Structure 1
Amino acid sequence: MNLIHYAIVGDDFSVKSKWMHQLLEGNAPSELKELQGKKGLLFSEVLLYEFIAEDYKHGKSELIPNDDRSLRTFSSGEKKKVFLNYLLDQKPDFLVLDNPFDSLDKTSVEELISRLKQISENTGIIQIFNRKEDLLPFIGSVLKLEEGRFKEYNATSFLESKKAADCLEIKAIPPAPEIFQKTPEILVEMKNVSVSYGKNQILNNINWKIKKGDYWQLIGPNGSGKTTLLSMIYGDNPKAFGLELYLFGNKKGSGESVWEIKSKIGYFSPSLIELFTTRNTVMEMLISGLKDSVGLYQIPSDKEARLAKKWLDTLNLGYKSEAIFIELSELHKRIILIARAMIKHPPLLILDEPTTALDDQSAFKMTSLINYIANYSETVVIFVSHRIEKGLQPKAVFRLIPSENGSYGEIISESL
């Protein structure tokens, strides 16, 4: 079957748009008229999050009805694999792939490309992508939204076009509203930490010390235990109790509540954007970081509003103060949420895949912001990612390496 496959550059394109809705309803737009009346299904993190939420609420998921494991325990690669199978079982004429390689390591990307190449022999593919390196090899045409209309490019010509990347313009970071008292030199320390679920060993004798002045990147393939490791620090993972795990000078479980620990940690994940639907303004979202909430649910003080305004001025986003947060561009949403996480100047800032689903330009601006925070504040940054980000300048990299007995850790570069 000789099918035509397309890609859409996703900088200003949303899978929630009217254009996409009409396409999936069988009313294809003029750019894809050959898909008129055809059945299409969407492969997207947005929909996958809904299945994960269902799993969290009911303890089971439609994606894995015959599996005893929770969908939440699956790695990113495993989640996408079962979701893809679920869609294919419905026998669509075409699939819309919304940045399918986000959150996947190199091996998982290669496996998914091979699978999609097989699928493309009998099923139409429309790929939404942001990074040029993610463009599927069998795509022939690229559609780019320009001034409200799609312009079609030959895929090869599009890949050869170049545009210089710009850093984010940042002014001096506003001072902390209050100083965290008695912050120890060592913020986090793991001594021979091992974690298993049933017979499945996840982490094996992890030794990691995070000190003041550090700037870390945490890497590892899908399923290597990055999420488990982060949950030991930031979450309420019961596996953390009884281990040689120390947070801000105290052994985990020795008295401090989860909320006391979280008050000292700034956190960002793209899932915060997907799960937030309240129509808060940008200013309100920033202020919510002072309340340890995502979104503002109480009247702020004048002092809090002044601090939020200073942060917006620092980021050159003062003109967005009264804009509705959920209506911002993807880049601006993430910038605001990172500023929200930083507004108290927490001792530790965890950024979980902050550049996933961003285009090359936006990712570079994001890494320039993170470098600035790490270099010009007292906050220690942990940057979690699957791909190597151009321009990121961590002082050290902690790498999780899977083995039959669980992942072990190593520092693969250090200049501390």
Structure 2
Amino acid sequence: MNSIEFKHISFKTDDKTILKDISFDLPEGHSMAIVGPSGCGKTTLGRLIAQKLIPSSGEILFPEGAVCQMVEQQDNFMTVSRIGSSYYGQRYENQGMDEAPSVQSFLQQTTSDVDWVMLLMDIAHLKNSKLMQLSNGERKRTQLAAALLEHPDLLVLDQPFVGLDVLSRQKLTTQIGELHQSGKAIVLICDPLHLPEQMDWVLVLGNGRLVQWVRRADYIPERLVEDAPETMEHSFAELQVSSEDQFEFAVKMNAVNVVHGEREILKNINWTVRKGERWALMGPNGAGKTTLLSLITADNPQGYVNDLTLFDRKRGSGESIWDIKKRIGYVSPELHLYFLRGKGIFNTIPGLEKSISSGGNSLRCDEVITSGFNDQIGFSSSNSDYQKKAVKAWFPILQLEHLSDSRFADASLSEQRLLLLARALVKMPSLLILDEPCQGLDSHQIRRFTRMLDVICSHLETTVIYVTHYPEEIPQSVTKLLQLENGQVKFCGSFFPES
């Protein structure tokens, strides 16, 4: 494959300029990484390289006949499975799953020659699993398999390490290196901390402009500037409220089991979360973490047939799903997938959808945060003066003041995730469940968020369940750990986060 040339490329949507005067030349057979702060235009540049977008000005020269494939950060499995409900608990009820494609049938929509790629991406054992019942890591590997079946000359990977456990991340890094050695050109959008050595070039973006275009060996990541603790304390002061929710046990599980078909997902789980405790929940992809959380959030009907107590009340004793949800603040990659925006849930890149005729596409960022008060997905109902004040206060706390009057669809993917974090926190819940909350955030945003959570925990008695693959992302306020492996408890006890 010959070189790709970018000559003074700019990209605009409506009245917003996303990329400005980008020029570089990627030599034949070379790989490159695109890095930079969240919202700087990395995904848009990746989509231009993959020929999914047309530049507003400038010229891109591609080798004749080159086949380009892009693996998006978010998959389209919901659309493929024809699931239109915004109720994400549907996956645990198996409603409408009979006609949903399996991994093998999904890949055969691309080509019938799937055995080799399933073995390559370590998903052969999942060939009969339904797409919507895969873990985050399994979904990512299936996305990559589908792209490889097109035999691309150039492969654009948008944050492929997001949602992967440590071993899966190491394996994918090795696979990327092998693909590069086989002659494929690789364009990798990633965090500077997870930049593979196999990359030849690094392109650094800042505010839509080209900041650096250097050899991998010459790249030096920018140092982070930390916020002063007193600054965050001051921003949080307006939100202080006293919790009147009285309970002893947020969660109490006794010999809990969950089975889907012939597959045991959880086996004999015993776990108690007392009021005010902060737990980390860890385990490799497919260990059962998401299913465990679905019992707590009342989305999994198998909670009724298990010895499960939530907020001192045994599950199935007359409480409604919404009685439970009103006491929980929740954010997860799955919730992001199901949150209504645009004409579908996958319109996350500015410029892909210009029409604002659909309700979701005109949803504003403040409405997204407000919807957390009543656990709504989509438009929020009317809100009180206190709620309006609380929502307004979250924008400077998360450094998102520039989005206070913007549409949710115009925010970058990481900015959308921060808005959903604010949605979970806005009602100051008794139990805060954060399922991989730092997924897709840059290093600065991760450190700021974990510090913010420590401040919240120092002021309130909020009980926390914090799910992550990476110990270094766990806030200092988290002091207990439940570790799962193959659906069973591997460790349950005290934990001391890395400083």
TM-score range, shorter chain: 0.7 to 0.9
2:434 corresponds to: 351
Aligned ranges for residues 7-406 of structure 1 at < 5 Å?
7-11=33-37, 12-14=39-41, 17=44, 20-21=47-48, 23-25=50-52, 33=61, 35=63, 38-46=66-74, 48=75, 50-55=76-81, 57=83, 59=97, 60-61=100-101, 63-65=103-105, 67-120=127-180, 121-130=182-191, 132-146=192-206, 148-150=208-210, 151-158=212-219, 160-167=220-227, 169-170=231-232, 171-175=235-239, 180-181=244-245, 183-274=246-337, 275-277=339-341, 278=360, 279-312=362-395, 320-390=403-473, 392-403=475-486, 406=487
TM-score, length of structure 2 as denominator length: 0.73
1:45 is paired with a residue whose SS is: coil
Aligned partner letter, 1:108: S
Change (3 A) 1:332 1:94: closer
Provide the rounded CA distance (Å) in 1 between the counterparts of 2:474 and 2:140: 28
Q: Tell me the CA shift for residue 119 of structure 1.
A: 1.9
Letter in 1 for 2:390: L
Whole-angstrom distance in 2 between the partners of 1:340 and 1:389:
24
Q: Deviations over 1:32-69 (max 9, x none)?
A: 856565221111232x1x21343262632375317442
The 1:382–1:31 alpha-carbon spacing in structure 2 relative to 1, beyond 3 Å, is farther
Q: Deviations over 1:264-319 (max 9, x none)?
A: 10011234445431333333222222232134343434343233334446556566
Coordinate RMSD, CA, aligned: 3.1
SS of the aligned residue for 2:156 comes to strand
CA-to-aligned-CA distance 1:178-210 (integer Å, 9 cap, x gap): 9554x2111111112222333332222222111
The whole-number CA distance in structure 1 between the counterparts of 2:455 and 2:281 is 18
Cα distance change of structure 1 residues 77 and 335 upon mapping to structure 2, 3 Å threshold: closer
**Amino acid of the structure 1 residue aligned with 2:421:** I
Aligned partners of 1:167 and 1:368 also within 8 Å: no
Letter in 1 for 2:44: S
Local SS of the residue matching 2:168: helix
What's the secondary structure of 1:389's corresponding residue?
helix
Alpha-carbon spacing, 1:148–1:393, altered in 2? closer, same or farther (3 Å): same
**Whole-Å Cα distance in 1 between the matches of residues 215 and 252 of structure 2?**
52
Paired with 2:425 and 2:52, the residues of 1 have a C-alpha distance of 42
The Cα of 1:344 is off from its aligned counterpart by 1.9
Q: Percent identity?
A: 31
CA shift, 1:102, in A, is 0.9
Give the counterpart letter for 1:42 in structure 2: M
Q: 1:375 to 1:32 in 2, by over 3 A?
A: farther
TM superposition shift of 1:353: 0.8
- On the 8 A contact 2:67/2:153 being kept in 1, the answer is yes
Structure 1 distance, partners of 2:136, 2:402, is 37
Q: Give SS of 1:337's match.
A: helix
Query: 2:491 aligns to what?
Result: 410
Paired with 1:370 and 1:311, the residues of 2 have a C-alpha distance of: 13
- What is the letter of the counterpart of residue 54 of structure 1? V
Q: Report the alpha carbon displacement of residue 75 of structure 1 after superposing the two structures with TM.
A: 2.5
List per-residue Cα deviations over 1:197-239 (Å, max 9, x = no partner): 3333222222211112111111111111101111111142122
Change (3 A) 1:332 1:164: same
- Aligned 8 A contact 1:368 1:391 in 2: no
Partners of 2:128 and 2:402 in 1: CA distance: 50
* TM-score, structure 1 as length reference: 0.87
SS at match of 1:213: coil
- 1:89-146 deviations in Å (ceiling 9; x for gaps): 111111111111111111111222222222221321100002x332122111011113
Of residues 308-317 and 388-397 in structure 1, the stretch that sits farther from structure 2 once superposed is: 308-317
Contact map agreement 1:351 1:382 (CA 8 A) in 2? yes
